[in-house]
Amino acid sequence: MKYFQVTANYFYFETPDFMYHLPDGLEHLQLVSRKDGDMGQLYNKVQWPKSLKIFRLHYFSFNSRSLAFLKLSKSCLEEIDIRGGHYKRLNADSLPKSVRVLILKKMGIQELCGSFERLNNLNKLLVTHTNLRNQAPIKLPVSSLSLIDLRYCKLDTKSPFVVSIRQEKNKNTCLKVKESDFWGMSDMEM
């Protein structure tokens, strides 16, 4: 099996046990709940098949503990798309160096930390619908990034985080934000 994709309005697994037995050869794992999903709390570390490149997990209300058990840093994932949950803090050191596209939406993230700069394959970073108002500056892999999307985030244009991104980004990098994100600003792309 190369692809396992399931999409439903309400998605329920009694246990997350299937996550501990992902088959070799699996390239794409997509579990999308449009409204509410539940697979129970992860209680063991996930062993990722080396073949798996794309992982999408939408609206399963995971938290930081679940993210730790996912052990994404031990994977060879190139695209990670996680939506929904209660993470508060995302540490870049928990992500695989192989990641090219990182999509994090509506995850309750309030702080990005760790070494994003080590993600030297990262081409697109989308962190939307979250509160990064008090985010400290972070180093990004500017040579590989073509898109930084911070739309629908609570941000302040004068915050050290936003200033550092503007100063640090590659001239070929597109930074997207939306009017409602920044207080007193109009839509802009930098």
- For the segment 4-58, what is each residue's pLDDT rounded down to a tens digit? 999 998 888 888 899 999 999 999 999 999 888 888 788 889 999 999 999 999 9
pLDDT of residue 169: 62
Q: Count CB neighbours of 93 within 10 A.
A: 12
Where are the chain's structural domains? 3-143
Distances (CA, A) of 35 to 10, 32, 61, 131: 6, 9, 10, 21
108 closest CA partner among 83, 136, 138, 72? 83
Average pLDDT value for residue range 62-82 = 90
SS3 61: coil
- Overall residue count recorded for the chain in this entry: 190
pLDDT of residue 184: 39
Instruction: Report d(CA 68, CA 76) in Å as an integer.
Output: 16
Strand ranges in the chain using DSSP code E only, listed in sequence order: 3-12, 28-38, 54-58, 79-83, 89-91, 101-105, 111-113, 124-128, 147-149, 174-177, 188-189
Helix (H) or strand (E) holding 70: helix 64-70
Helix-strand-coil percent breakdown of the chain, rounded to 5? 15, 35, 50
Phi then psi dihedrals of residue 60, to 5 deg:
-105, 10
pLDDT of residue 33: 92
pLDDT of residue 21: 92
Phi then psi dihedrals of residue 9, to 5 deg:
-65, -50
> How far is it between the farthest Cα atoms of the chain?
51
- Give residue-wise pLDDT tens across range 132-189: 888 888 888 878 888 988 888 888 777 788 877 777 766 677 877 754 544 434 444 4
Whether 89 has a pLDDT exceeding 70, the answer reads: yes
CA-based Rg of the chain, rounded to a whole angstrom? 17
